[in-house]
Every structure is written in C-alpha cells, then in structure tokens.
Amino acid sequence: MYYHASLSMKQLTTMLLAAASLTYAQAPGPIALRGARVVTVSGPVLEHGTVLLRNGLIEAVGENVDLPKDAWVIDAQGVTVYPGLIDALSTVGLPEAPAPSTAARAETPATPRGGQELPVPVEQGPQFRPFTTTWVRAADLLNPADKRIEETRGAGFSSVVAFPFTGIFAGEGAFLNLSGEKQGRMVVTSPVGQYVTMSSHGFGTYPGSLMGVIAYIRQVSFDADHYKLELAAYASHPAGQKRPNYDRAVEGLLESPRLLLPAEDAKQVDRMLRFAAELKRPAVLYGGHEAYKVPDLIAKSGVPILVSLKWPEKSKDADPDQEESLRTLELRDRAPSTPAALEKAGARFAFYSGGTAPKDMRKALKRAVDAGLSEAAAVRALTLSAAEIYGVADRVGSIEPGKIANLLVVKGNLFDEKAKVQYIFVDGVKYEPLPEAPPGDREGRAAPGGVE
Amino acid sequence: MNRYALFLLALPLAAGQTTVIRNATVLTVTKGTFQGSILIRDGKIVEAGEKVMAPEGARVIDAGGQYVMPGIIDCHSHIAADSINEGAVAVSSMVGIEDVINPDDIDIYRALAGGVTTANILHGSANPIGGKCQVMKMRWGKDAEGLKFEGAMPGIKFALGENVKRSGSPGNGFGASPGLRYPASRMGVEDVIREALTEARAYQKEWRDYQAKLDRHEQAIAPRRDLKLEPLVEVLEGKRYVHAHCYRADEILMLLKVSDDFGFKIRTLQHVLEGYKVAREIAEHGVGASTFSDWWAYKAEAYDAIPYNAAIMVRKGVLVSLNSDSAELMRHLNTEAAKAMKYGGLNETEALSLVTINPAKQLGIEGRVGSIEPGKDADLAIFDKHPLSNYAKVEKVFIDGELYFDRQKDLEERPAKVARKKALVDQFKAQEKKERKKPESSEDKKGEDPGGVR
C-alpha cells in the first residue's frame, strides 16, 4: 500500500483506532448463540435454539445446528433472542434540526414578524413549492456520531427508519442499521418513503391552513403524474418537441416508494385513507392514538399504520384547575388499547418512538400489552411487520438463514420490566448496552459541544 | 365502547323502518298547516295529512300538542371543519371544506338540538375567491363522507369588501404579513375576480383544444390539471354555485356586473346587509340573498343595516334565507325567522320559508328537503311549542327518517357521562399519586430527552 507514506500521523492513528475498535467488536469468525429461547418471528419459537452468525448474516438457526470448529460459542442459557427491534419512524442518525413542524402547530396563526425579518412575498405560480424538500435524503445526511444511536441500540433497537422531518414534503427516509461506524454501512435501503406532514406556517403563508396543505399535496401529486407523461412523450420523440422543465420537487416524490401520512385521531385516519386512495400512491399512516375507534377501517384498507409509543399525557404545564373534556380523558385512557384493537382486526401495524426516550420504550410497549396486545403481536410489530411495511422483509425483521444478523439478546423476557438487554447484534457486530447513567449525570451527556 | 357503536345501539330505529308521527300540528311550509300525521318509510316522507293510516308494526310517535316542521336549513355556517380560511393567497379555489370535515365537532349536535338538519359549510371571507363549500346533513355520529349531502350542487365562496381588503392590508394581525397581499381595495377585489375568471377561461380553452385533438384522433397529452382553475371553470359552466360574501350595495352591483360579463349567475349573496337598497336589481338577476335578521354594526360596512332587510327583499321578489354564520345563532334559527314577522310583517309561512324551503332552493336541494311533502327526505324537527315562539324547544329531530336528536334521551344519558368522566379523572389522579411516590420515575427527565424531536 504505497500511499501510506502520504498519510499524516493523525490520519494514520485514526485509521488504526478504527481498525482496533472493529476488531474488538467483531469476532474473527462465526458466532453461535447456543441454548437460547429463540423468537424467530417468521417461524415457531425455539425453546432451546441456536443461532449461527457469519459475515454479518444469519447462517443457521434451529434446535440442532452443527457448529463450525472455529465458531465463537456464546452459552445463551436463560436468554431470549429476538430479531433486532425496529423503530419505524425516527430521526436517529440525522443531524438535529431546529424545532420541527408538527401537525399540532398546523392551525396556529402566524405570530407577528419581528422587525429584523424581511417579509417573504407569497407566490402563487404553479411551480411554487413551499415547505417542500422532497429530494432531501436521510441517507445523505447521516451522522454516525449521533449520541442517540447508542442510546437507541441500548434499548434493543438494531434499526430505525429515519426521515427528514421539516416541511410539508420533508424528504426521503432510509432504513438504517444502527452500527454507527460508517455512513455507507448504516443504510440498509434508501429511499423507503416520503415523510409528509400537515404542517402549515400560519395565515400569512400559502398554504396556511389544513385544507390548503391538503390541496397543495394533491396538486404536487397531480403534477408528478403529469410530469411523467410529459417526460415519456418527450423521450419518445424529442425532435420538434418542447422540452419539459426539470422539477426536483416532483422528482423526489416520484422516487419515493410510499407516502407517510399523519393520522392521529379517527377522523384523520379516515381522511388520510381516502386521500391516499385518491392520489393512487402507496401510503403508510403514522400517529394512530385514536385508531382504536376504527381498527376495521384500517384493516380493510390494507394500508399499514405506525403507532406512536408516546402515549398521550396531561401536559406538564396544564392548569390544574382546568377541567379536561371527556374526549381528552377517554383518549388518554384508551390510546394504549390501539395496538390490541389493530391486532384483533387484522390490520398491519408497527411502532415508533414518537419522542419516547429509548429507555422508556419498553415501558410504553408494556402499556399496550397490558391493554390487550399479545406479546407475539408486539414483537412482530417491532420487527417483521416494520420490515414488511418498508419492503425489506427479505433481509431483516426475523431470525432466518440468509437475513442480516440483527439480533436482540435479552436476559429473560422482553416484556418483563426487570429483564436486561444483554447484547444487540447489528450486521453481526455485537454491542452491549451502556451501563445506566447514575442520576444527575444525564445533563452532562446531553450537551455535546458544550464550551465548558 | 366507542361513540359510533353506542350510537348504533341507541338507535334501533333504522332507516328501513316505518314511522308515523301523529297528533301533531304539521307545518309543511309549502302545503299549508294542519293537525295530522306524517308517515315515514325508508327515510322518506310517504304521506302527510289529517288522516294517515299507520301500517301494522310501524313505530308510532305521539306528538300530541307538538309541532312538526321541516328540518331547518342554514345556508351559511362554519361548523364541522378543521380549517376555514386559506387567506394568504387572493384566490384559494384549490382548497375545499370537503377535505377537512370534522365529524367530531360538537356543534353538529348542538345544531341538531336547534332543529337544523342541513347546513352549507363555507370557506371564510379572507380573499376575493375563497375555497369550495360543502353542503352537509347534521348526521351526528357518521364519518365525514356520511355527513355530506349526497348529490348537492357543489359551491364556492367569493368575498367582497372589508375582510378581503384588510386581510391584505398593513397593520392587520389577522391577515397576511404587512403589505404582502393584493388586493387592499374594493377596486382590487373586482380586478382579482375578473383576472381569475379570465385565467379560468384560458384554462377551459386549453382543455377544449385537447379534447378537440383527441376527437380528431391526433396525439396529445392532457394539459396539467390546475386545482385552482378547475372549480372556476365549473363556475363559468354553471356547474358550481357561487356564494358571495358582501355587504354594500355598490359592491353587490359590481359583482352582478362581473357575473353578467362572464356569463354566469351568482347563486347567493351572503350577509348582503344593504340588499334592501338594491333588492330590485338582485331580483332581476335571479340571485338569492342569505342574510341576518338583526345582526349588524360589527364593522364599518355593516352600519347601514336594518331589520327589515329580509322582508323588503322578499317583497321585491328576491329568494331570501336567514343564516347563522355562527355556531351559537345556528341553534335558534327558528326565532331568527320569527323576527321577520315583527320587522316587515311576513306571515308565518313566509317566515318559516326563510329557514327551510328558501335556503333549500338556494342550495339547489329543494327536491329533497325544505318542506314536508311526500317523496322528500324525512328531515323533520319536532318542537314542543310553535317554532316561531321564543319559548319553543326542540324535542326530536329526524334526518332520513332516523332519530338523531331526542331531548328526553339526552337528559337521561347525562348522569352516565358525568359518572364516566369522574371515574377517569379519579383514575388519572390515582396514577399521578403513584408516579409521585417513585422519585426515580422516568417522567421527571422527559424534558431533557435529546431524542424527543417528534
């Protein structure tokens, strides 16, 4: 390697360190987890199973697996092996942006602008694409140094589906493995979908209302259909024809295999299912806290829904004397029963953190199980269902030979609050969760780049 | 159990059933008033008269001493929608209430409790050409599609005057950012409407040319669909009604002139508080007027209003209705109608027409609703006293023959709802107490969570 000479000392050190850490984490040969309870998800649970990993893939799984001589055997008595969990909608791995626009802000009128800010004229032309970055790809923005990668992995998640999240058309998501070492290795596939919000920026902008946002999305979608027609017509006979304009907003939409549409309450589920059908684009709903009212509607549509594990709570700043409506109270009581209702109806669903801290994810999941969701369905939603929804079930989501070696190893049962995560395998690389930070230490860690 | 399920259980009175309302004073509005019965089958009025035979097995509702009138129709309301104004653009015809129907809005139920069965839900008045309207029935408990008045002519909101010009003017916190949006004057409003309709004509031609090419078997790709111009082409072609918010006589005449120039008809003038000044011109144009009884002086252009407005326009031959524009006023449109008897001397039937058959005609749904006649939808309101009395209360409301509001049932159900609420409040209080006992609860740290970006 003749170019070594041109490397600076610093670069060389970095390379060596990187190599060393890899060697540390990755066993030189095959790894076998022997004698574990294996929840394959795609097949039956093996009470005394063995999983053999090699080169980042699952090589074999079963009750009787012949282990190669060079295998590093981990005696896994008393532990349960699950497929690595998947957070089906996340921003982990992406640089943190300023406060995102959420549906909750949609109808808030614009606050008067400060004097220093120059007004932006409202455009109305057909090519005006406000709050639109369809072309932004999560896969191009990855930050392997994101601290949340390690925290999320420590909670049992081998993968997240990360999306850019600002604007109406926020951008294209990527299915990521939380290996956190090289950007290119993290991406399992991209793009997996377009993240759409119903956010608007108040009365002073277009679109400034929910119906404006919906009309805008509809127009862009129709424009995309028309763009395809124009391009095809031009491509077949370019000579003598007017050349269509390049439209990156539409390009980004066309390359997204599905739209992620917000649907928190029952009426929004109904609204977005109809909208997706009208646009004739594959869709995935997200939110779903009131979906317990309409599980059959969702099941019948065949459209999957991602349920947020951030269950509704009373605002910390709520006026203690303010009486809440029966509807608000009902929602808080019933939201965790949504997954059970979806399971019963046969709807397709997965989970996402929705801002729940990684360490609280299992607790939040437990509430869904307490409200009637079967443990098997809970695990499936967190693994294979999420993989299916994003079209990657041929490589992740279950413990099957040939799939990527993403595994969660728990001492005991995942749904037992006291059970500890022992290892997480991502692409066959073994990680251990960080020891729990003592109380008070948290603030220090939460301030990366601080000047102190 | 969710509300939808509760609703179904509470209503064994399905549409397929036969119902007879008897011993009532029936105010048909179009066919006189009599003591008698109404026979309802499959959601329709089958017979109404002094002697109606009740078929065997029919559900009989004894309305002795009570009054039945057609369900009230409100030609101008903003309930049951998750957004109302798309105001930063001068022309927002691409948006529509149909996309944001909120079937959970309690105002639907409250409107029912005031005897309203149908309402025209309009876009706001922030811009010269607003969004598309939605005619709805107050079918409380149904989903968004279930609320839509199936087959009703589509509509669109236009708006003139102060709201429109001030939304684009400096220093108005309600409107677009300072000086950003044209128009800021009444002249500008006219210009915006003319320009948009001119644009729509060009768009219409684009599609006609395309169709002509197809007819000649020439190769062509369809023009780009423009969601802003499509509804305006429908207006030009008479396929979409224009409901125009207006106040002053001058701007009313301006709009009538614009519609003449472009060859279409304004369906209704809304508010139209100075309509009495130009009632003859309005009548000549065959344009409807939907106004308030005595609500005025809330802004400069609403100072020249008089309570005789509705009656004067009626006498001049205008098709007039009284509307609410307010979730509160919507609950007592019957007494709003009564005011037109005091101010202007309309008779009972004329007064009731202002909130029943007239708005039905203005919305193009008079074949279905607006009066008690065989063949029409069984949309009925039963009052305990004459509905034009201040003391009248709504007892029952039917839509499509289904009972959607029953005062007695409502009263009976209240204690159970109060108890359910108390149980939930207690449950959450107990939980909070439990959480507080655990000092290491994760709840305490949520604010610092760096992952909480969603």
Distance from CA of B183 to the nearest CA of A (A): 13
pLDDT (0 to 100) of residue B440: 52
**Are the beta carbons of A359 and A442 closer than 8 angstroms?**
no
Do A192 and A106 fall within a single domain? yes
| Between B439 and A106, the higher pLDDT residue | B439
Beta carbons within 8 Å of A83's beta carbon, 6+ residues apart: A39, A40, A41, A158, A383, A384, A396, A397, A398, A399, A406, A407, A408
Do A199 and A308 fall within a single domain? yes
CB contact under 8 A, A355 and B221: no
| A-to-B residue pairs, Cβ atoms closer than 8 angstroms | 184
CB contact under 8 A, B86 and A209: yes
Confidence of residue B447 (pLDDT cuts 50, 70, 90): very low
Interface of A with B in 84-103 (CB under 8 A): 89, 91-92, 96-97, 100, 102
Do A74 and A155 fall within a single domain? no
Percent of chain A with pLDDT over 90: 74
**Are the beta carbons of A177 and A158 closer than 8 angstroms?**
yes
Confidence of residue A165 (pLDDT cuts 50, 70, 90): very high
Please report which helix (H) or strand (E) contains residue A34, including its range: strand A31-39
Percent of chain B with pLDDT over 90: 85
What are chain B's domains? 1-71+370-408 (2.30.40.10), 73-369 (3.20.20.140)
Please count the other Cβ atoms lying within 10 Å of the Cβ belonging to residue A286. Answer: 26
Indicate whether A4 belongs to any domain. no
Indicate whether A252 belongs to any domain. yes
Confidence of residue A286 (pLDDT cuts 50, 70, 90): very high
Mean pLDDT throughout A370-378?
Answer: 98
Beta carbons within 8 Å of B244's beta carbon, 6+ residues apart: B157, B158, B159, B160, B255, B266, B268, B269, B270
Indicate whether A8 belongs to any domain. no
Do A68 and A98 fall within a single domain? no
Indicate whether A115 belongs to any domain. yes
d(CA B127, CA B86): 8
For B4, which residue in chain A has the nearest alpha carbon?
A293
Mean pLDDT throughout A155-159?
Answer: 97
Distance from CA of A6 to the nearest CA of B (A): 40
Distance from CA of B110 to the nearest CA of A (A): 16
pLDDT (0 to 100) of residue A201: 74
Mean pLDDT throughout A417-424?
Answer: 92
The answer to whether residue B208 scores a pLDDT higher than 50 is: yes
pLDDT (0 to 100) of residue B454: 36
Do A225 and A274 fall within a single domain? yes
CB contact under 8 A, B177 and A110: yes
Bridge partners of residue B271, in order along the sequence: B246, B291
Do A218 and A91 fall within a single domain? yes
Confidence of residue B180 (pLDDT cuts 50, 70, 90): low
Confidence of residue A407 (pLDDT cuts 50, 70, 90): very high
- Global confidence as pTM: 0.89
The answer to whether residue B324 scores a pLDDT higher than 80 is: yes
pLDDT (0 to 100) of residue A199: 85
Residue from A161, A196, A211, A286 whose CB has the most chain B CBs within 10 Å, to mutate = A211
pLDDT (0 to 100) of residue A452: 27
pLDDT (0 to 100) of residue A8: 46
For A333, which residue in chain B has the nearest alpha carbon?
B424
Mean pLDDT throughout A3-18?
Answer: 44
CB contact under 8 A, B88 and A122: yes
**Residues of A with CB below 8 A from B440's CB?**
439
Do A52 and A159 fall within a single domain? no
Tell me if chain A has a CB within 8 Å of the CB of B7: no
Rounded to two decimals, the ipTM of the complex is 0.92
d(CA A209, CA B126): 12
Q: What is the three-class DSSP state of A323?
A: coil
CB contact under 8 A, A165 and B427: no
Do A387 and A417 fall within a single domain? no
Do A301 and A333 fall within a single domain? yes
The answer to whether residue B175 scores a pLDDT higher than 80 is: no
pLDDT (0 to 100) of residue A371: 98
d(CA B420, CA A138): 46
**Are the beta carbons of A370 and A58 closer than 8 angstroms?**
no
Please count the other Cβ atoms lying within 10 Å of the Cβ belonging to residue A66. Answer: 9
pLDDT (0 to 100) of residue A319: 85
Do A76 and A126 fall within a single domain? no
pLDDT (0 to 100) of residue A26: 53
**Residues of B with CB below 8 A from A109's CB?**
174
pLDDT (0 to 100) of residue B146: 98
Mean pLDDT throughout A61-87?
Answer: 95
The answer to whether residue A164 scores a pLDDT higher than 90 is: yes
d(CA B197, CA B236): 8
Domain count, chain A: 2
Q: For residue A7, which amino acid is it?
A: L
Q: What is the three-class DSSP state of A31?
A: strand
pLDDT (0 to 100) of residue B308: 98
Tell me if chain B has a CB within 8 Å of the CB of A230: yes
Confidence of residue B243 (pLDDT cuts 50, 70, 90): very high
| Between B105 and A181, the higher pLDDT residue | B105
Confidence of residue B167 (pLDDT cuts 50, 70, 90): confident
Q: What is the CATH classification number for the domain harbouring A386?
A: 3.20.20.140
Q: What is the CATH classification number for the domain harbouring A57?
A: 2.30.40.10
pLDDT (0 to 100) of residue B87: 87
Please give the DSSP secondary-structure letter assigned to residue B440.
T
Do A417 and A304 fall within a single domain? no
Confidence of residue A197 (pLDDT cuts 50, 70, 90): very high
Indicate whether A448 belongs to any domain. no
Indicate whether A134 belongs to any domain. yes
For B146, which residue in chain A has the nearest alpha carbon?
A270
Mean pLDDT throughout B202-222?
Answer: 96
Indicate whether A440 belongs to any domain. no
pLDDT (0 to 100) of residue A358: 93
Do A382 and A406 fall within a single domain? no
Indicate whether A48 belongs to any domain. yes
Distance from CA of A78 to the nearest CA of B (A): 28
Closest CA to B410 of B173, B140, B147: B140
The answer to whether residue A20 scores a pLDDT higher than 60 is: no
Domain interval for residue A407: 23-84+397-434
Weakest mean pLDDT among A50-54, A65-69, A126-130:
A126-130
**Residues of B with CB below 8 A from A357's CB?**
442, 445-446, 449, 451-452
d(CA B105, CA B119): 14
The answer to whether residue B353 scores a pLDDT higher than 50 is: yes
d(CA B408, CA B113): 12
